[in-house]
Amino acid sequence: MESSSEGVARVGDGGVVEDPAHTEANAPEAVLPGAVVREAVVQETVVPEAVATAVSAIAPASLSPSRAGDFMQCPLLYRFRVIDRLPEKPSPAATKGTLVHAVLERLFDAPAAERTAPRAKSLIPGQWDRLRETRPEVLELFADDPEGERLAGWLVEAERLVERWFTLEDPTRLEPAERELFVEAELDSGLRLRGIIDRVDVAPTGEVRIVDYKTGKAPRPEYAEGALFQMKFYALVVWRLKNVVPRRLQLVYLGSGDVLTYDPVLADLERVERKLLALWEAIRLATETGEWRPRPTKLCGWCDHQAHCPEFGGTPPPYPLPVTLPVRAAESEGGAQGRMGPG
């Protein structure tokens, strides 16, 4: 299989290949034994309002794929989440994604021969109980469902997503090198990049593939580049940490049964690094001036912060940081530094 900086492949339901030059079906098994990864939400976790009011605001110190995406979508949203740390209600879709990811991660605790769809579905109740214990706010989702009918339907939807994964990958043939891997790298500029990779596979030849599960539907081809941004972010961090360009990036869309793959080259990662440095400079400038402008889009309809947004007649909270240049991390003398391991 040839590496390409341009080709994007899509594998639909039933294994129909739209671009045979860039698919798993054409890759040697010894080169690509398989993989899986999830969107990272690190450090900038949204906290309950009672806690947020007691926590001193601090200037942004690192960047994750989620928060980079927030700033590109709407700088004011980034401020609300990272600096103001305003509370957000759990959503059924996001919580379902968390549940499905937990199930698919735990499935690999079992011996290969026992990684079946029935076993995976049997893990759902226990992982849902665990999620309620660790994140009790998710109980709000079904507070108005005393008979449990909506919850039952929601859990059935999670089962369907888990089942669909077995039509896209064969877990009996996958042995992840890492799961839920925390990665962090400091660039020469001092910018720290960090995230959590759900699964990394390393071939006997040392080649790496990272894959991300999405419980929604695959985007249209014209929006594929935006969907791959997170994966290129992770590839950049791995390259900076290990001096290895991942062989393949793969997005598995459980909602539609599609697989999106991309084979990066070094020039891709260098472009992403330049983009992130420009993005971080814009974040630094906004932090310094206190000017976080809203950027209205169709996504505003799902935003939890309309009451604080000028586009909806709201007023942002008083800016909690002094309008001065934030302290920047000292540049490392030996190039990029970082770590790979538990967060």
Q: Is the pLDDT of residue 55 over 50?
A: yes
Q: Is the pLDDT of residue 21 over 60?
A: no
pLDDT for res 221 = 86
What mean pLDDT do residues 42-54 have? 40
Q: Is the pLDDT of residue 266 over 60?
A: yes
pLDDT band for 198, please (50, 70, 90 cuts): confident
DSSP state of 201: E
Give the C-alpha separation, 106 to 148, whole Å.
Answer: 26
Q: Is the pLDDT of residue 223 over 80?
A: yes
Give the CA angle between residues 186, 262, 210 to the nearest 5°. 55
- Burial label for 327, CB within 10 Å (0-12, 13-18, 19+), is exposed
pLDDT for res 206 = 87
Q: Answer yes or no: are the C-beta atoms of 10 and 258 closer than 8 Å.
A: yes
pLDDT for res 100 = 97
What mean pLDDT do residues 199-206 have? 89
- The helix-helix angle for 65-73 and 266-289 (nearest 10°) equals 60
Count of all residues that appear for the chain in the document: 343
Question: What pTM value is reported for the model?
Answer: 0.78
What mean pLDDT do residues 60-71 have? 96
Q: Is the pLDDT of residue 35 over 90?
A: no
Q: Name the region of 248 (left: φ>0; alpha: ψ -120 to 50; beta: rest).
A: beta
Q: Answer yes or no: are the C-beta atoms of 87 and 47 closer than 8 Å.
A: yes
Summarize pLDDT for 280-334 with one digit per residue, the tens: 999 999 999 999 999 999 999 989 999 999 999 999 999 999 986 445 544 444 4
pLDDT for res 343 = 56
- Burial label for 52, CB within 10 Å (0-12, 13-18, 19+), is middle
Q: Is the pLDDT of residue 115 over 90?
A: yes
